[in-house]
Chains A and B, each alone.
Chain A
């Protein structure tokens, strides 16, 4: 019989207490135990970025992260990005720039872009390209994804100005 270990972590602000197999990845925990299917399983070996989520504010490939290594940590997924009905500026920018077609890579792209803007609110084009260079998009929406990065930075700035005023 397989062994299960207790695990406590926060996902999108909610506390979870679970029993998990030590070999379970964070990606499988999210998709199977918590029903959060936004992060996608594409390569399952850290090549494609479709499973990108944030752990304590930093992006990780959830397929390469063991769930038990997230004990006591804060995980944020694509499902936790919008504030109720209000989209995150990155999400809004992806829609405006048509920065996806099939949408399967989009949760990962959005998380990578969001992490970039958290760290660097005024990224250059090179910064944007580097931030999402680990996120494959087979539909080839890259040109629009890069544009969405620039747009998202603008939207965030506008938001801050509005909040400040």
Chain B
């Protein structure tokens, strides 16, 4: 069995458990490992359920006497609730429960707020909730609730929040100037001197928009009580976080709350924390004495449960004439909405500190309160916003230096994590491999000349990225039971949020156990089955739970070989397991099936627990990638067609190439939306979101996507963990938007600092550009005639 020695020390005032691994049987899967299952494009284990409509999502739970809930939301961006009268709603036939601040105890929620708070601080804040026997009656009941508000001054824009004398988005906060949290300051070297010494300085302001995750399955859950036990079928990226937060909110012990999530219709970060509706559904179900399903409608989804915060970034890059970076300075503001949810984590500063080698770096990141929906992590939070600015600034720098943009990046290559004591990277050549592969695939010949005429103009753009996640997020656990028929049940408290976790982990389990994939069942997404696993975020699930499964499997194998050695009367060291057979000296014909070996000890089974040990302390684990975008711009209509994107991502070992490719095309598709169409539009005079729906919030469609060429790097990162796999969920989104922006610049010679680059912005910029050109040519001809 895996054993641990635990050493403790004080770190940041908290007990730091330094868990050392003692699992000598765990193989490190190096580059030469001969696999049977890992590395194959195995089909998703739940594929048939998903194509037949049988996969049960949180929205599809149907329980006897189930009722349906809806939430009444604030129509004002900031207002005091003067009174709530729900008597008419309560009297409607079919209504089973109505709750609001006046008839429930105050329950503390994020950032000093309450589940039903007063005042309300954004359009969409929760005011009341109803449960009824049908969705339609629940809607009627919402309309029958009478609420009187007293409007308060509000601020919804970043500019507004930072202007002198701005209204306070949070009256209960004593921070100055709407600052919502810690201003994150980072300095190394002497950045001001670095900029002074530079031969060339780039100095520009970039902005990125608020973007909404808009997972197709909205947030929500189904809540059912049995006595004083609560079960929640929740659309969440973290069943254990929901259990912890809900049990705390309801003052219940954790073991009385069970959270289940079999399938999930996407999360993209927005479902990584517990949200108010988890508690609201539980309260309604308690009051009604019936199960309650509370799935948000699309408007609620767009208003109240997370978005990528909009940012403003002033970026300064200094470089010598031969292209060495002498200084990087980024001043960042971000609009975090009305609440710090604890899941925002948009570290825009990060990429400035790590992607390129530079001794002199300063970042200042200022989070601000606004009366808008709360920010929460959105696929590569912060890195997407930072890359938008940094990678365009690098493109400008390369132009000013008359250098190939990739060469400029190669020249400033970093093999260490400069933000973390210059720790060596776990795979220092990772980004270089991505540069080389993507250049080769795209036939990169440097940046083409920008066309001077023609209606359709073509351009090519390059962008790179790193991402400090993907390395695993311990602790995390797995249990395996090898059954008497030679099949295995693998159980872990992680969740498959739609990415293919179930399949990728089953492949690791099958490989590590020496069983065919069809003999492995992978159970996840149920706190009652356990064991603990962390939130599915940071592209970390495969790298967190894979090694835990591998560790448990190593013990199972060891036990199996003991039994086999005994049964076959052959020395254990001559035995191995592969594809359901115990081999003798590597020979299957002299072997014995795992099933037969297990029958030697039936009805006993073999059981083991595996733990994900801490990440190495002496290495920085990162993932890397580079993309090349090819675009066409129609100068008359402003239409941008992204024709191709070549992508190469260093993500460690590829456990399943089909699933990895799906993540890559999906990330790039979201990057395309971020670059060109997606934006939560707020009318700042009214404080109102103008497009809280999928009609006007423009996510890409099948007709918008380019040809995507994925060029895998596929090198195991064994410094990261024993499986060599890191993570791929977030990375492909990061460089897509700046690569597209750089390609647009290459096509038409106009730099767009503000995301998204809508058709409107293209046309406006081109009109300005033309009038400048006209003015220039007039001046030139005047000069000539003079």
On A, residues with C-beta under 8 Å from B are: 1-2, 21, 23-24, 28, 31-32, 35-45, 47-48, 50, 77-79, 81-82, 87, 91, 94-96, 98, 100-107, 110, 129-130, 132-146
The interface residues of chain B lying within 8 Å CB-to-CB of A101 are 266, 498-500, 662-663, 666
Are B53 and A48 interface neighbours, CB within 8 A? no
Are B266 and A38 interface neighbours, CB within 8 A? no
Are B699 and A144 interface neighbours, CB within 8 A? no
Known: A77-B53, A102-B265, A133-B701. A95 touches B136 (CB 8 A): no
Contacting A at CB under 8 A, from B322-337, are none
B91 to chain A, nearest CB (A): 12
Known: A100-B50, A136-B699, A142-B705. A42 touches B62 (CB 8 A): no
Complex: A21 Cα to B119 Cα, angstroms: 37
Closest 10 CB pairs of A and B: A38-B53, A102-B498, A140-B669, A104-B265, A103-B50, A78-B53, A140-B666, A37-B60, A47-B694, A91-B51
Contacting A at CB under 8 A, from B43-101, are 43-44, 46-57, 59-60, 62, 93-94
Are A94 and B51 interface neighbours, CB within 8 A? yes
The interface residues of chain A lying within 8 Å CB-to-CB of B214 are 138
On B, residues with C-beta under 8 Å from A are: 41, 43-44, 46-57, 59-60, 62, 93-94, 134-137, 213-218, 263-266, 268, 295, 297-298, 497-500, 658-659, 661-663, 665-670, 693-695, 699-703, 705, 707-708
Contact of B665 among A37, A102, A140 (CB under 8 A): A140
**Minimum CB distance partner of B94 in chain A:** A2
**Minimum CB distance partner of A28 in chain B:** B135
Contact of B59 among A37, A130, A141 (CB under 8 A): A37
Known: A28-B135, A42-B694, A47-B693. A140 touches B216 (CB 8 A): no
Complex: A129 Cα to B498 Cα, angstroms: 23
Are B52 and A102 interface neighbours, CB within 8 A? no
Are B43 and A95 interface neighbours, CB within 8 A? yes
A37 to chain B, nearest CB (A): 4
Secondary structure call for the A interface? loop
**Minimum CB distance partner of B696 in chain A:** A47
Complex: A42 Cα to B235 Cα, angstroms: 14
Complex: A24 Cα to B133 Cα, angstroms: 13
Complex: A36 Cα to B695 Cα, angstroms: 26
In the assembled complex, 29 residue pairs joining A and B whose CB atoms fall closer than 8 Å, in A order, are A2-B137, A31-B60, A35-B62, A37-B57, A38-B54, A40-B216, A41-B295, A42-B217, A44-B298, A48-B216, A48-B694, A78-B52, A94-B47, A95-B43, A95-B48, A98-B659, A102-B215, A102-B265, A103-B50, A104-B215, A105-B216, A134-B701, A139-B662, A140-B705, A141-B665, A142-B669, A142-B700, A142-B702, A143-B708
The interface residues of chain A lying within 8 Å CB-to-CB of B663 are 101
Q: A78-B51, A102-B216, A104-B216 are in contact. List 19 more A-B contacts (CB 8 A).
A: A2-B93, A2-B136, A44-B298, A47-B693, A78-B53, A94-B51, A95-B48, A101-B666, A102-B215, A102-B265, A102-B498, A102-B499, A104-B217, A106-B51, A129-B702, A137-B216, A137-B702, A141-B665, A142-B700
The interface residues of chain A lying within 8 Å CB-to-CB of B52 are 38, 78-79, 81-82, 87, 91
Are A141 and B53 interface neighbours, CB within 8 A? no
Are A138 and B216 interface neighbours, CB within 8 A? yes
Complex: A138 Cα to B57 Cα, angstroms: 16
Most buried by B among A44, A98, A110, A136: A98
Most buried by A among B50, B659, B667: B50
The interface residues of chain B lying within 8 Å CB-to-CB of A94 are 47, 51
Are B51 and A110 interface neighbours, CB within 8 A? yes
The interface residues of chain B lying within 8 Å CB-to-CB of A134 are 701
Complex: A101 Cα to B264 Cα, angstroms: 10
The interface residues of chain A lying within 8 Å CB-to-CB of B666 are 101, 139-141
**Minimum CB distance partner of B700 in chain A:** A140
Are B295 and A98 interface neighbours, CB within 8 A? no
Are A45 and B298 interface neighbours, CB within 8 A? yes
Are B661 and A32 interface neighbours, CB within 8 A? no
Contact of B699 among A91, A95, A138 (CB under 8 A): A138
The interface residues of chain A lying within 8 Å CB-to-CB of B59 are 37, 40-41
Complex: A98 Cα to B666 Cα, angstroms: 12
The interface residues of chain A lying within 8 Å CB-to-CB of B661 are 98
The interface residues of chain B lying within 8 Å CB-to-CB of A82 are 52
The interface residues of chain B lying within 8 Å CB-to-CB of A32 are 134-135
Are A43 and B298 interface neighbours, CB within 8 A? yes
B635 to chain A, nearest CB (A): 25
Complex: A77 Cα to B44 Cα, angstroms: 23
The interface residues of chain A lying within 8 Å CB-to-CB of B658 are 98
Known: A39-B53, A100-B50. A140 touches B668 (CB 8 A): yes
Are B694 and A43 interface neighbours, CB within 8 A? yes
Complex: A88 Cα to B251 Cα, angstroms: 49
A85 to chain B, nearest CB (A): 9
A154 to chain B, nearest CB (A): 17
Are B497 and A1 interface neighbours, CB within 8 A? no
Are A104 and B500 interface neighbours, CB within 8 A? no
**Minimum CB distance partner of B732 in chain A:** A140
**Minimum CB distance partner of B214 in chain A:** A138
The interface residues of chain B lying within 8 Å CB-to-CB of A40 are 57, 59, 216-217, 265
Complex: A56 Cα to B268 Cα, angstroms: 37
Known: A28-B135, A37-B59. A103 touches B702 (CB 8 A): no
B565 to chain A, nearest CB (A): 41
B271 to chain A, nearest CB (A): 11
**Minimum CB distance partner of B68 in chain A:** A32
Complex: A45 Cα to B265 Cα, angstroms: 18
A98 to chain B, nearest CB (A): 5
B268 to chain A, nearest CB (A): 7
Are A103 and B265 interface neighbours, CB within 8 A? yes
Known: A23-B136, A35-B62, A106-B50. A132 touches B702 (CB 8 A): yes
The interface residues of chain A lying within 8 Å CB-to-CB of B215 are 102, 104, 138
Are A103 and B701 interface neighbours, CB within 8 A? no
The interface residues of chain A lying within 8 Å CB-to-CB of B49 are 103
Are A139 and B702 interface neighbours, CB within 8 A? no
Are A44 and B297 interface neighbours, CB within 8 A? yes
Complex: A39 Cα to B694 Cα, angstroms: 17
**Minimum CB distance partner of B295 in chain A:** A41
The interface residues of chain A lying within 8 Å CB-to-CB of B135 are 28, 32
The interface residues of chain A lying within 8 Å CB-to-CB of B659 are 98
**Minimum CB distance partner of B217 in chain A:** A104
Are A144 and B702 interface neighbours, CB within 8 A? no
B709 to chain A, nearest CB (A): 10
Are A143 and B53 interface neighbours, CB within 8 A? no
The interface residues of chain B lying within 8 Å CB-to-CB of A104 are 57, 215-217, 265-266, 498
The interface residues of chain A lying within 8 Å CB-to-CB of B668 are 140
Are A79 and B265 interface neighbours, CB within 8 A? no
The interface residues of chain A lying within 8 Å CB-to-CB of B693 are 43, 45, 47
The interface residues of chain B lying within 8 Å CB-to-CB of A106 are 50-51
Complex: A141 Cα to B214 Cα, angstroms: 15
Complex: A34 Cα to B44 Cα, angstroms: 28
Are A95 and B51 interface neighbours, CB within 8 A? yes
The interface residues of chain A lying within 8 Å CB-to-CB of B93 are 1-2
